[in-house]
């Protein structure tokens, strides 16, 4: 689907991401919110130069229920997606989608926006998987329905916090990144995929820098 061989008994990258989400949540509890305050997406913090938040936001979740839901979705679908993409592509898709969500939050959200972004990255993975299925002419109605439901749920539950912007940005960048992986030609496929994903990341960063330049 994405130009990667199936990995027997795979899921290493999925488990790594799940472990990071769990560890960061526990550390945040132990430190009284200090860890989260350094990693969450914060428009004001990014405006003051803390650009790492554009990526680290995808490793954060709010509340025990939020963490458990994200871990469950990763466990149920992450391993299957990773078996199709391979480990590094899976992680790259996750981070790219998270970056896309954070970028849209910065571009369109209020200055005081603060949000966790693991759900943005996960919905981006689902969007990328739908693109891969579309290429193989597989039925994607279930995937599209799940994406729409997740975004609508985010809008209804977190409308005032503007976290739904991250869901839309994550889905859009996840779909674009999935297309880059799925439709890369066989010749020099890996190189094209790497440069394509890097280009997506650079466009997101350029958009953030451009927004800062405009004030």
The DSSP string of 75-129 is IIIIHHHHHHH-HHHHHHHHHHHHHHHHHHHHHHS-TT-EE--HHHHHHHHHHHH
pLDDT for 135 beyond 80:
yes
Residue 82 tokens read as 């990773």
This prediction has a pTM of 0.91
Domain boundaries, the chain: 12-214
Task: Annotate 104-131 with b (16+ C-beta within 10 A) or e (fewer).
Answer: bbbeebeeebbbbbbbbbbbbbbbbbbb
Residue 157: DSSP 8-state = H
Give CA–CA dist 46/95, Å, rounded. 17
With residues binned 3-state (H G I as helix, E B as strand, rest as coil), the percentages for the chain, rounded to 5, are: 75, 0, 20
Question: How much is the mean pLDDT over the chain?
Answer: 89
* Assigned CATH for 12-214: 1.20.1540.10
- pLDDT (tens digit, 9 = 90+) per residue, 158-195? 555 677 899 999 999 999 999 999 999 999 999 999 99
């Amino acid at each position: 689907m994405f130009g990667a061989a199936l990995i027997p008994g795979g899921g290493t990258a999925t488990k790594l991401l799940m472990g990071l989400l769990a560890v960061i949540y526990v550390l945040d509890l132990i430190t009284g919110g200090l860890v989260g305050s350094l990693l969450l997406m914060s428009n004001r913090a990014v405006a003051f130069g803390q650009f790492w938040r554009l990526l680290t936001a995808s490793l954060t979740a709010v509340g025990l229920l939020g963490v458990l839901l994200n871990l469950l979705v990763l466990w149920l679908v992450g391993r299957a997606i990773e078996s199709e993409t391979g480990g590094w592509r899976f992680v790259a898709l996750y981070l790219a989608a998270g970056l896309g969500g954070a970028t849209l939050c910065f571009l369109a959200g209020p200055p005081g926006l603060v949000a966790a972004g693991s759900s943005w990255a996960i919905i981006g993975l689902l969007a990328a998987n739908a693109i891969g299925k579309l290429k193989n002419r597989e039925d994607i109605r279930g995937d599209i329905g799940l994406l729409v439901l997740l975004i609508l749920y985010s809008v209804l539950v977190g409308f005032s916090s503007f976290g739904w912007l991250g869901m839309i940005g994550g889905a859009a960048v996840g779909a674009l990144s999935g297309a880059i992986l799925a439709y890369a030609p066989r010749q020099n496929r890996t190189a094209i995929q790497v440069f394509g994903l890097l280009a997506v990341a650079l466009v997101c960063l350029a958009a953030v820098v451009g927004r800062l330049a405009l004030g």
